[in-house]
Amino acid sequence: SKNGGRNRFSYFTPDLQEAAQARQNMGADLRRAITAGQFEILYQPIVSLHTGAVHKAEALLRWHHPTRGLLGPAEFIPFAESNGMIVDIGDWVFREAARQAHAWQASIDPSFQVNVNKSPVQFRRDADMYDGWLTYLEQLGLPRQSIVIEITESVLMQGAEQVLARLQQYRAMGLQVALDDFGTGYSSLSHLKKFDIDYVKIDQSFVSQLETDDGDLALCEAIIAMAHKLGLKVVAEGVETPGQRQLLAEAGCDYAQGYVFAHPLPAGEFEEMARESRKA
């Protein structure tokens, strides 16, 4: 093998050293990324299944790494969580998303919303950012319900009291809340009633086989009916085909996002598409 010569004399250390070095580099690179302007948010349209108009955007983070190229969240968010940098990154994402929501309320629709993802680690750690966010929203003149915080079901399973308190803080701030990846967690149904949320996002795994699996269709229909009874709106994720879109519309689903409409887009392209969707 090509490493044979080197490894013959020290079996383990090179790899361990490389791994440690890689983590150190990643940490240093990540610390610079915000100030160097290497983060970009892509925006994926969330489309009304009733009108076809783009009503909201989900903010999806990307990192233009100086040597490694374009990185998706899976390649750096777990690391940023493990060393706490996720709090500063999340602060940047929140402010950038709010600034963009404010611009789009002027150019697309006065009630336009931007959805911001929040990992379980962030959810536990970023409470001291809240005052700063409220001040920022006030400075922008952005109504607070313009930001929808997306949390996964797994967050709701980490000690109910603390989670409830945090969610109540969001509500008190006037932000909206969406339950992401719905259906993949444990005891989903009780969460809908127990926690004060605005949107349920049906996970892609229930959408991808909709056209061939009657069980998945029945599940989607049941989630939609139940959510509506509880006064929540439903977003279907990962919609890739016209057939899936049609079945979800027939099932009464409110919104959908996925490649059948658009991939996550740079802000400029997003705005163009959203404006176009309203011309019909």
Of residues 78 and 141, the one with the C-beta less far from ligand C2E: 78
Q: Return the residue of 181, 211, 221, 240 that touches Ca ion, per CB under 5 A.
A: 181
Query: How would you label 23-34 residue by residue, b for 16+ Cβ within 10 Å and e otherwise?
Result: eeebeebbeebe
CB 49 within 8 A of CB 253: yes
60 contact choice in ligand C2E, Ca ion, none (CB below 5 to 8 Å, kind-dependent): ligand C2E
**Nearest approach, Cβ of 93 to ligand C2E (angstroms)?**
4
Q: Return the residue of 49, 54, 77, 220 that touches ligand C2E, per CB under 6 A.
A: 77
Taking residues 44 to 73 in sequence order and writing x for each that binds ligand C2E by CB under 6 A, - otherwise, the string is x--------------xxx----------xx
Q: Return the residue of 126, 150, 254, 271 that touches Ca ion, per CB under 5 A.
A: 150
- The stretch among 6-14, 73-81, 91-99, 172-180 that binds Ca ion (CB under 5 A) is 172-180
Q: Return the residue of 105, 113, 119, 176 that touches ligand C2E, per CB under 6 A.
A: 119
- The stretch among 94-102, 125-133, 146-154, 239-247 that binds Ca ion (CB under 5 A) is 146-154
**CA 97 to CA 116: how far, in whole Å?**
7
The answer for residues whose C-beta is within 8 angstroms of residue 199's C-beta and 6 or more apart is 148, 176, 177, 178, 179, 232, 233, 234, 235
Of residues 180 and 216, the one with the C-beta less far from Ca ion: 180
The answer for residues whose C-beta is within 8 angstroms of residue 192's C-beta and 6 or more apart is 179, 200, 226, 227, 230, 232
**CA 125 to CA 81: how far, in whole Å?**
10
77 contact choice in Ca ion, ligand C2E, none (CB below 5 to 8 Å, kind-dependent): ligand C2E
3-state secondary structure of 143: coil
Of residues 7 and 82, the one with the C-beta less far from ligand C2E: 82
**Nearest approach, Cβ of 201 to Ca ion (angstroms)?**
6
Closest CA relative to residue 210, chosen from 200, 220, 202 = 220
**Nearest approach, Cβ of 59 to Ca ion (angstroms)?**
9
Query: In this structure, how many other beta carbons lie within 10 angstroms of the beta carbon of residue 87?
Result: 17
CA dihedral sign, ordered 215, 260, 58, 226? negative
What are the C-alpha distances in Å from 102 to residues 12, 92, 130, 230, 266? 53, 15, 18, 30, 16
86 residue type, one letter: I
149 contact choice in Ca ion, ligand C2E, none (CB below 5 to 8 Å, kind-dependent): none
Residue 96 engages Ca ion in binding (rule: CB under 5 A): no
Residue 211 engages ligand C2E in binding (rule: CB under 6 A): no
- The stretch among 18-26, 116-124, 212-220, 227-235 that binds ligand C2E (CB under 6 A) is 116-124
What is the maximal distance between C-alpha atoms in the chain?
A: 70
Closest CA relative to residue 23, chosen from 98, 106, 63, 82 = 82
Which residue ranges make up the site for ligand C2E (CB under 6 A)?
44, 59-61, 72-74, 77, 93, 117-119, 122, 150, 180-181, 238-240, 257-259, 264
Which residue ranges make up the site for Ca ion (CB under 5 A)?
117, 150, 180-181, 237
